[in-house]
Structure 1
Amino acid sequence: MMFKSQRFFKSLQLLIVASLLILPLLISEEGLNSIISTKAVFKYSIFCFIFLSIHFLHRYLLFPKLYARRKTILYFTSLLFILAALIFTRPFDRLMFELRPKPNQVDAPRREPPHSTENRPPMGNERRSGPKIDVLSVFLFLIIITIEVIIETNKQLSLTTQRAISAEAQKTEAELSFLKAQVNPHFLFNTLNNIYTLAIIKDENTAPSIMKLSNIMRYITDEAGNEFVSLRNEVDCIEDFIALHKLRLGKKTTLNYEVKGFLDAEKKIAPLILMAFVENVFKYGISNHSSNKLIIKLAIEDNILNLLCQNSIYPDKKDTERSGIGLTNTKKRLDYIYPNKHILEINDDDKLFTVKLTIHL
């Protein structure tokens, strides 16, 4: 659809320019017969070349490189320079002078009364008595530029609208996938099993664990559908998530979790943006066969949030299908919600999977 629209606008521009170039032949007294001579064809070709050059120069250089990029001073300066060149060269007047009817050379010259030159056409070496500015060349120039600005502006508006519709559709699709995969089912099953075990042995952590799981489910149900949530609530959800995972961590796993900075209740963040990376640490960074270290560090300074997540890479889990929140959807959400306001670096060197995220809140 977008390509069809672009072809339509291009065809419309060329059609309008071609119609304007035929104008001299339409207003000439002899019409198409006026260009039967070689010299007239040459003059007409120069005329067409001048205005076609203006058309393509404006379409492919001036408008996209200057006007569209808000370099208005340079844009209008360029147009004034072209207009001054047209006024100086007078292409339309020169062409019409060549296309005007020529007196019949074989007819006897008519004797005119002295001082009667009102109806006599000007000779080539006589100074013309018309306006000193090539009005029709200026008119054609203004018509071409005005029409092209209107067409190009409409084209840009059409493209912007189509991109917005496409982005909205992608956002809806990403949010749908995101909502479907907000909670990793394995995390839910494992947590319930762990809480069941705690209840069997009557561990004192049973009630707090149930409360933490309830807090996570309430947060996902009530707040995760909002565009932004309190940063404090987001971090609280992460801490409950980490606390529940600690129930199943063995002695071979070391967890380093830190939060630095003041969690201002006024600071807002997109929900579950950070959770995707935290979940990834526990999902792929734990092995029952070797020692492993999990690092989750969060630092808040002014309106800048920094997140560092790091875990070991295990070949048996590297290609496992990801059924949780998903890094792909999270990247899309970051690009959509924080355009030019975030930096995401993901590395898997030295058998370590490292995520560094900076967000300007």
Structure 2
Amino acid sequence: MQKKMRLQTSIQTATGILILALPLFIFFGHNSNHYFGLSQILHYIIFCFLFVGIYFLHSKILFPKLYLAKKYLIYFVVLLAQLSGIIVVRPFDRFISNPNRMEQAQPPKLSPPINIPPPPSESPRPLVDIVSIFTFLLAIIIGVTIETNKQLRLTMQRVLMAETEKAQAELAFLKAQVNPHFLFNILNNIYTLALTQDSNTASSIMKLSNMMRYLTDEAGNDEVSLSQEIACMTDYVDLQRLRLTQKTNIEYEIKGNIEDKKIAPLILMAFVENVFKYGVSNHKNNKLIIKLLAEHNLINLYCENTINPDKKNEKRTGIGLENTKKRLQYIYPNKHILAVENDQKVFKINLSIHLN
């Protein structure tokens, strides 16, 4: 952004110098008998200060205080008054007019030819100062363009800031929804173990304690270590194993280097939770697959579960999964690919995330 602004400033400066140098090119190309004397220097300085003043007066006062304030009538009246002043003063004509001429060698006096009128001393002046009018209009147009672009940049910055604040607020709301929903399912599992007086209840409570510590201490952060997220996943899978029957076959596999990587909390957990929520049946055989591969800055999560006939007519995306999809859009825009496949028999999710 700063490089772009510096480039624009350089282009604007070069354009201004070129506009102010235009009278010089016209002056030296107008008549070879003119020379650049003290009078021309003074008039050229006046010419430059006049149009630089017009530019800054328009940019700093007229445009922001009149045009942007929607005082269009006053704005255009002031511009017409300035243009009328330029037409009357004729600054370029005053600059280019030079009573002094280079002394030229005089030929010997001869009798002038009969009936031949002497050549005119100077070409007639135009009715209006075209160059001054053109320079005035150009200064106004450049000023309007620069100020309009500046206002557009400010508007875009405000819009982006508002969108960022909205995304952050919505993301905080989504996190608040995900955590209680996730915890609710886990407590149901522990409750089932306690009712059956399972010997693994104590270890399950410890695993739940680790998960709750993760939820309370880490899940509120923007990022957590990938190893922490996977540890939470592993505890969750272990808790689920305790309540499942032999009809359910679980393939849980973690491969690759999971150290020194950061990820948004509960992004992976929601998809793992979805596998158990919709893929477990106590009446038919089930196959659940959860595989995670971490390579360089890319992680891939593959989840697959057979569809429980008792739940296939239910809405597949629960609160946690639907919110996680939204979070992916906010946190990893253009950095993730989520493929969902549902053939009414098997439900598959393939998620790839490019971590920063």
Give the TM interval when normalised to the shorter protein: 0.5 to 0.7
Aligned in 2, Cα 1:331/1:323: closer, same or farther, shift over 3 Å?
closer
Comparing 168-177 with 240-249, which one deviates more in the overlay? 168-177
**Where does structure 1 lack aligned partners over 5 or more consecutive residues?**
1-8, 31-92, 94-113
Report the CA distance shift for 1:170/1:158 in structure 2 as closer, same or farther (over 3 A): same
- Would you say the 8 A contact 1:20–1:140 is kept in 2? no
Shift of 1:323: 9.2
1:297-316 equivalent positions in 2, closer than 5 A: 297-314=291-308, 316=310
The SS at the match of 2:323 is helix
Distance 1:325 1:140 in 2: 61
1:231 matched to 2:226? The reply is: yes
| Change in 2 beyond 3 A, CA 1:190/1:121 | closer
- Partner residue of 1:247 out of 231, 242, 249: 242
Displacement of 1:276 after TM fit? 0.8
Identify which of 335, 340, 343 aligns with 2:334: 340
State the Cα deviation string for residues 263-320 of structure 1 (Å, max 9, x = none).
Answer: 21x2111111100111111111122332221111100011111111122334643454
Q: 1:156 maps to which residue?
A: 153
Contact 2:251-2:288 within 8 A present in 1 as well: yes
Given the alignment of the two structures, is residue 357 of structure 1 paired with residue 355 of structure 2, yes or no?
Answer: no
TM-score by length of 1: 0.61
**Distance across 1 between alignment mates of 2:72 and 2:246:** 75
Q: How does 1:1-361 map to 2 (within 5 A)?
A: 26=84, 121-122=125-126, 134-184=131-181, 186-197=184-195, 200-201=197-198, 203=199, 205-264=200-259, 266-314=260-308, 316-318=310-312, 320=314, 326-349=320-343, 351-361=345-355
Over the aligned positions, Cα root-mean-square deviation in angstroms equals 3.9
When residues 154 and 317 of structure 1 are mapped into structure 2, their CA distance, relative to the original with a 3 A threshold, is farther
Q: 1:29 to 1:194 in 2, by over 3 A?
A: closer
Structure 2 match to 1:110 = none
Contact 2:193 2:243 in 1 (8 A): no
TM-score between the two structures when normalised by the length of structure 2: 0.62
- Bigger Cα Rg: 2
Aligned residue identity for 2:192 = N
CA distance in 2, matches of 1:195, 1:142: 81
Distance 1:249 1:263 in 2: 28
Counterpart-to-counterpart distance in 1, 2:163 and 2:327: 15
Cα distance in 2 for partners of 1:22, 1:318 equals 74
User: Unpaired segments of 5 or more residues in structure 2?
Assistant: 1-66, 94-117
Percent of aligned positions that are identical: 46
Of residues 13-22 and 148-157 in structure 1, the stretch that sits farther from structure 2 once superposed is 13-22
How far off its partner does 1:230 sit?
1.2
**Distance in 2, Cα, partners of 1:211 & 1:350:** 37
CA distance in 1, matches of 2:347, 2:231: 24
Q: Partners in 1 of 2:138 and 2:71 — Cα distance?
A: 14
How far does the alpha carbon of each residue in 1:125-151 deviate from its partner, in whole angstroms, 9 at most, with x for none?
xxx9x7xx8343244234313322322
State how far apart, in whole Å, the 2-side matches of 1:15 and 1:250 are.
82
Distance 1:317 1:142 in 2: 71
**CA distance 1:346–1:17, shift in 2 (3 Å):** farther
Is the 2:288–2:305 Cα contact (8 Å) retained in structure 1?
yes
Per-residue CA deviations over 1:153-206 (Å, capped at 9, x if unaligned) read: 3223213322322332233133223223314354133222233145x25x2x23
Contact 1:178 1:325 in 2 (8 A): no
Deviation at 1:15, TM superposition (A): 8.1
Q: Which amino acid aligns with 1:182?
A: N
